Structure 1
Amino acid sequence: MGLRQFMLSAALSFVGAAGLSVTAHAEDRVLKVSLQTELQILDPIITTINATRVFAYLVFDELVAIDSEGHYKPQMLSGWDVSADRLTYTFHLRDGLKFSDGAPVTSEDCIASIERWAKRDGFGAQLMDAADRFKIIDTKTFELSLKRPFAFVIDALGKPGHQIPVVMPARLARLDANTAVPEVIGSGPFIFLKDQWRAGAKAVFARNPNYVPRSEPADGLAGGKVVSFDRIELLSIPDQSTRVAALQKGELDLLEVVPYDYIDMLRKDPNVTLGKQPTIAQNMIAINVNHAQAPFDNPLIRRALQVAVEQSDVMAGLGVPVDMYRVCYSIYMCGNSGSSDAGTEYSREVGPKAAQKLLKEAGYKGEPVVFLHAGTSALLNPVGSVIADQMKQAGFNIDFRTSDYATVAARRLKKSPGADGGWGVTPMVMTGIDLLNPLAQQMVSLNCMENNPGWYCDPALNDLLKVYSQASTAADSNKSRDEIQAVFHKNVNYVLAGQFAAPPAYRSDLKGMILFSFPVFWNVRRE
């Protein structure tokens, strides 16, 4: 080989090696994630789907954030002042806040965003019922005046989900609150690359160069959201075994929920770490019931459904290890200081056989019940099969409709009868962080609201929620919580089907992972 040929060969080898190095480095800066449900809706006050919540915390931010122990901390705010009579709150935005389009975040944006959120959220509606007015003091300071005491102003502004009071530009926040905004512009740590989005398949996010994290260490949703990855990819993989195999091969970095059948296998894989969820991050299976249509417009038939569900069988069908679930009938979750037994007397005798008599007494005539079953969800797929079987044993005429989760979520919004595209029941997964405060949780706070899929409505519940919002002592607060739960069970807003942990799994070279009720992608890095 001549000198010229040798030099050319060496040069090409160098370029090839450099290219591989650049490619490998680029891949190291990408985090690939599989959620348990598909991302379909890009506005976190329009839906309660968990994938949209994950999306929201990537691209938006909140004025207040909750930490891993349930405490509320300033996030977009530098702080707030409260008057002696607790009727005036003055909020101060921290320095350096910008939207992803480069525009500064202002008081006007914050007020418009709060008002939009409150039109669709039960907690927000309670807050605005107590509010007198908002007032802009300057571009970084605004004021909320109350006409009556409201004990949960800060909790409302830091609500971690369903629906989320994120801040967006005022020009978008002033649009119809019942329609998703046409642009995704937030002030969070990432930017959504809409041109690369394939609904239900892939969503891509890039680091937001305008984001300035807080100086405190990250803790749950609070603190400094330091970004180490240039790109986040949310990938939809319907088949559970394919998801797990992709994680083991390094084609995925994180699974939001590990199918229980694979837990033992993954525990033995040194390249995979199973996350241990804090107590606040445990989950509740709840059955969403359509109160607007027969047969569940009859409260006695709802009660028969309530009794038909045997929680331990649901958990066994899900494959949850016995040390990872508990039978629980408290809407505030069990195992914490806010748990309650009020209204749970029916739980002493449950199961399909116990429900048969109730169903007959209720006058059920065999009307079909459209059961929406999310076959692509690692959690809802097995849960749905068990619950449908329990209902059949109790005597319900089940019309079982299996589809992907996105289809289930879309159909769940339809109030029409099952024969016209509506539905009767569908299981859901709720996270404990969303259930601690009755003003924030969707099983009671959306009472009599039209944007509440299931359309439960009990006028007495609204009065109880109002009393709770003004409670001045712990004793009064606990009394109201018990009364709210008792009314929930009497009206059968939802049916509870068991409390459990659903651990995530991620590649062991990821460090600094923040384990919460849902995946968050700040402070994690690859080593």
Structure 2
Amino acid sequence: MRRTKSLKLLAVTAIAALLLQTGIAAAQSNVLRIRPFGDLKGIDPVTNSDYMARNHGYMIYDTLFAMDDKLQIKPQMLEKYDTSADGLTWTFTLRDGLVFHDKQPVTSADVVASLKRWGQRDGLGQQLFANTASLEAVDAKTTKLVLKQKWGLVLDALGKPSSGVPFIMPERIAKLPATESLTDPVGSGPFIMKKDEWVPGSKVVYVKNPDYKPRSDAPSGMAGAKQANVDRVEWLYMPDAQTALNALQAGEIDIFEEVPPDMLTLLSKNRKVKVAPQDSLGVQVVFRMNSIQPPFNNPKIREAIRYMVDQNVFMRAYVDIPALYKDCPSFYMCSSPYYTDAGWVKQDLAKARQLVKESGYDGTPVVVLHGTEAGITNTFSSVAEQLMRDIGLKVDPQAMDWGTLTARRTSKKPTSEGGWSLFISAPTGADMMDPLGHLGLRSNCDSSWFGWPCDEQIEKMRSEFAVTPDLAKRQDIAKALQLRANEVVPYVPLGQLHLVRGVSTSLTDIPRAAIPVYWNIKKAN
């Protein structure tokens, strides 16, 4: 009898252990673990232009419009929108059932406050509001925008997918001055940030928003239905690529963003892992100079950098797979309808050295914000540093992680007081397609991207582009702007890349969009 009871007890214990293991496995299958390219240092996507803050924004917020996989702007939070015959009055109507994470309904007052805050910082938003006579809430669901003059880029501005995304947040949060960073992560998006579990330098956690109401449209790029198909998403910060690779192959993470090219062959041999493009447009790698501090406040030295650069030298130092890189002699993406190679010069190191001598260069060190954790910034910075030495510049590389770099590049102080001269970055192609939304060409002084180029002619052409409806005339303006940019050199393009992610084969329905987003993904048990 005692032996029978013991056997029953063992059986019950074994079943309990099996159920516990099954429960753990089921729980793990509902968690999506991602190694993002960098660390989340701040959660305000308006004051912080770092792409990690943008990606965070897409987890917790939603937008009035979104870009589909054909690069068309479609309604997202809106049931409908209307435009008056003269093109001056735009009316936006919110969908039913939209609520914030604090259970409060999304209203047009939230829309107005959010757009006004965004419009103070974003370049395209600044252009929109410069042409705006009024923006007001008509009723709880209706917002009316009245323009001073017809402006053909309203949808482009409100549906832009990358830097300076016009996310909609609660009015009480959006009323915070655009000079201060918000700390409250309440949005209305498909996921809720678990701020109590956020450990900068380690982990960011999001959970499924049970109140989110997806669109009924099929998913397409950034547009259409956004389904949270997992209960929990964890961003696990791993600055060392080898550690991330080992974690992916061991099944400890599901997605490894920005896999270094030299690891792709190894991943291709693992049947439990697949590799795929990280975004649909690729990135443009940029050599961004600080135009307000020596030595790059000297136009001749910026011109010298133009002659120093051969895109193929930079690209081949990073990747030897031709399908992943492209020599693109333009400030615009090669896929842009505004692509032009007008005014481009070939590498001429002798000419670059001559320009450095003619500039009166006094030996002021070029302080490079050398990002070490991302393969692109690390490799491209190293190549740039050696080439600058070759043309006669003194170089001071300062190694740091990406989060530190993005914080440091906001400083306008002299290099002797913690400022900087140069950083390498890789903005998504969505930010480099046309003159108006272009991250690097904007030259409106203190309101431009870090580096703060200031050129009245470029700004005049950008404004003209905004009110020109004819495509051929816009292309002419884009060409003229490129010629001017080759004269004043706000930055130098170093070529185009397709970033690659490693993905567990247990995942399906990964969005193919202009930037990495994590809704609609399904994870098999």
Partner Cα separation in structure 2 for residue 487 and residue 143 of structure 1: 37
Deviation at 1:120?
A: 0.5
Q: Does 1:203 align with 2:204?
A: yes
2-structure distance, mates of 1:57, 1:234:
14
Structure 2 distance, partners of 1:380, 1:444, is 20
Aligned to 1:78, the other structure's residue is in SS state strand
Tell me the amino acid that sits aligned with residue 468 of structure 1.
Answer: F
Aligned-partner Cα distance in 1 for 2:385–2:23: 52
Query: 1:72: which partner in 2?
Result: 73
Q: How does 1:331-346 map to 2 (within 5 A)?
A: 331-344=331-344
1:391 to 388, 405, 421: 388
1:220 corresponds in structure 2 to: 221
Give runs of aligned pairs for residues 31-430 of structure 1, distance below 5 A: 31-276=32-277, 280-344=280-344, 347-348=345-346, 350-430=347-427
Q: Contact 1:293 / 1:417 at 8 angstroms: preserved in 2?
A: yes
Contact 1:47/1:162, CA 8 A, preserved across alignment: no
Secondary structure of the 1:402 match is strand
Partner letter of residue 287 of structure 2?
I
Worse-matched range after superposition: 30-39 or 314-323: 314-323
Give, in whole Å, the separation in 2 of the partners of 1:330 and 1:135: 40
* Cα separation, 2, equivalents of 1:289 and 1:324: 26
> Is residue 470 of structure 1 aligned with residue 467 of structure 2?
yes
After TM superposition, give the deviation of residue 451 of structure 1 in Å: 6.2
**Offset at residue 518 of structure 1 (A):** 2.8
The one-letter code sitting in structure 2 at the alignment partner of 1:198 is: V
Change (3 A) 1:162 1:235: same
2:437 alignment partner in structure 1: 440
What pairs up with 1:478-497 in 2 under 5 angstroms?
Answer: 478-497=475-494
Task: Decide whether aligned partners of structure 1 residues 517 and 504 sit closer, same or farther in structure 2, where only a CA change above 3 A counts.
Answer: farther
Residues 199-224 of structure 1: CA distance to partner in whole angstroms, max 9, x if unpaired? 12210000011111101111111000
Q: Distance in 1 between matches of 2:432 and 2:449?
A: 16
Aligned-residue offset at 1:173: 0.6
After alignment, is 353-362 or 496-505 more displaced? 353-362
1:523 and 2:520 are equivalent in the alignment? yes
| In 2: Cα distance, 1:343 partner to 1:146 partner | 36
- Bigger mean CA deviation after superposition, 489-498 or 119-128: 489-498
- Look up the SS of the partner of 1:443 in the other structure: coil
On the 8 A contact 2:35/2:257 being kept in 1, the answer is yes
Q: Which segment is superposed worse, 314-323 or 425-434?
A: 314-323
Cα distance in 2 for partners of 1:275, 1:333 equals 21
Q: 8 Å contact 1:391–1:398 — kept in the other structure?
A: yes
CA contact 1:162–1:441 (8 Å) conserved in 2: no
Question: Is 1:373–1:400's contact at 8 Å kept on the other side of the alignment?
Answer: yes
Checking the alignment, whether the CA contact within 8 Å between 2:92 and 2:143 is kept in structure 1 is yes
**Once the 2 structures are TM-superposed, how far is the Cα of residue 351 of structure 1 from its aligned partner?**
4.8
TM-aligned CA deviation for residue 66 of structure 1: 0.5
- What is the Cα deviation at residue 308 of structure 1? 1.3
Check the 8 A contact 1:353/1:393 in 2, yes or no.
no
Taking every aligned residue pair, what percent have the same amino acid on both sides? 35
Question: What code does the residue aligned with 2:56 have?
Answer: F
Give CA-to-partner distance per residue, 1:417-460, whole Å, 9 cap, x none.
11100000000011111211322221123622346311111012
Paired AA for residue 443 in structure 1 = G
2-structure distance, mates of 1:483, 1:97: 44
* Paired position in structure 2 for 1:500: 497
State the 1:277 CA deviation: 5.6
Amino acid at match of 1:514: P
1:453 to 447, 450, 459: 450
More off after superposition, 225-234 vs 43-52: 43-52
CA contact (8 A) 1:289 1:424 kept: yes
Calculate the TM-score normalised by the size of structure 2.
0.97
CA distance in 2, matches of 1:206, 1:123: 32
Q: Distance in 2 between matches of 1:518 and 1:97?
A: 24
CA distances 1:222-260 after superposition (whole Å, capped 9, x unpaired)? 000011111111111111111111111111111111100
Distance in 2 separating the partners of 1:510 and 1:169: 33
Contact 2:368–2:423, Cα closer than 8 Å, also in 1: yes
Q: 1:446 to 1:11 in 2, by over 3 A?
A: farther
Distance (Å, rounded) in 1 between the aligned partners of 2:38 and 2:71: 25
Q: Is the 8 A contact 1:275 1:515 kept in 2?
A: no
Amino acid at match of 2:467: Q
- 1:398 maps to amino acid: V
Moved more, 44-53 or 449-458: 449-458
1:119 and 1:177 in contact (8 A); partners too = yes
TM-score normalised according to structure 1 size: 0.97
Q: Which runs of 5+ in 2 are unaligned?
A: none
Seen in structure 2, the aligned counterparts of structure 1 residues 115 and 24 have a Cα distance that, compared at 3 Å, is: same
Alpha carbons 1:36, 1:378 under 8 Å: kept? no
Query: In structure 2, how many angstroms separate the alpha carbons of the residues matched to 1:210 and 1:493?
Result: 45
Segment of structure 1 superposing worse, 473-482 or 24-33 = 473-482
State the 1:396 CA deviation: 1.1
Distance 1:516 1:161, change over 3 A: same
Given residue 24 of structure 2, which amino acid in structure 1 is its aligned partner? T
SS in 1 for 2:503: strand
Deviations 1:150-170 (A, max 9, x none): 110011011112111100011
Task: Give the Å deviation of 1:48.
Answer: 1.9
Q: What is the Cα deviation at residue 463 of structure 1?
A: 1.3
- Is the Cα–Cα contact under 8 Å of residues 276 and 502 in structure 2 kept in the other structure? yes
Measured in 1, the distance between the counterparts of 2:360 and 2:443 equals 29
Secondary structure of the structure 1 residue equivalent to 2:121: coil
User: After TM superposition, what 4+ stretches of structure 1 lie above 4 angstroms from structure 2?
Assistant: none
Give the C-alpha shift of residue 178 in structure 1.
1.4
* Distance of 1:234 and 1:489 partners within structure 2: 40
Distance in 1 between residues matched to 2:219 and 2:164, nearest whole Å: 23
Maintained 8 Å contact 1:33/1:253: yes
**Structure 1 SS opposite 2:426:** strand
C-alpha change, 1:164 and 1:336, in structure 2 (3 Å) is closer
RMSD: 1.4
Aligned residue for 1:119, secondary structure, equals: helix
Partner AA of 2:429 in structure 1: G
List alignment gaps of at least 5 residues for structure 1.
none
Q: In the aligned structure 1, how far is the partner of 2:274 from the partner of 2:452?
A: 41
Work out whether residues 122 and 446 of structure 1, in 8 Å CA contact, stay in contact via their aligned partners in 2. Answer: no
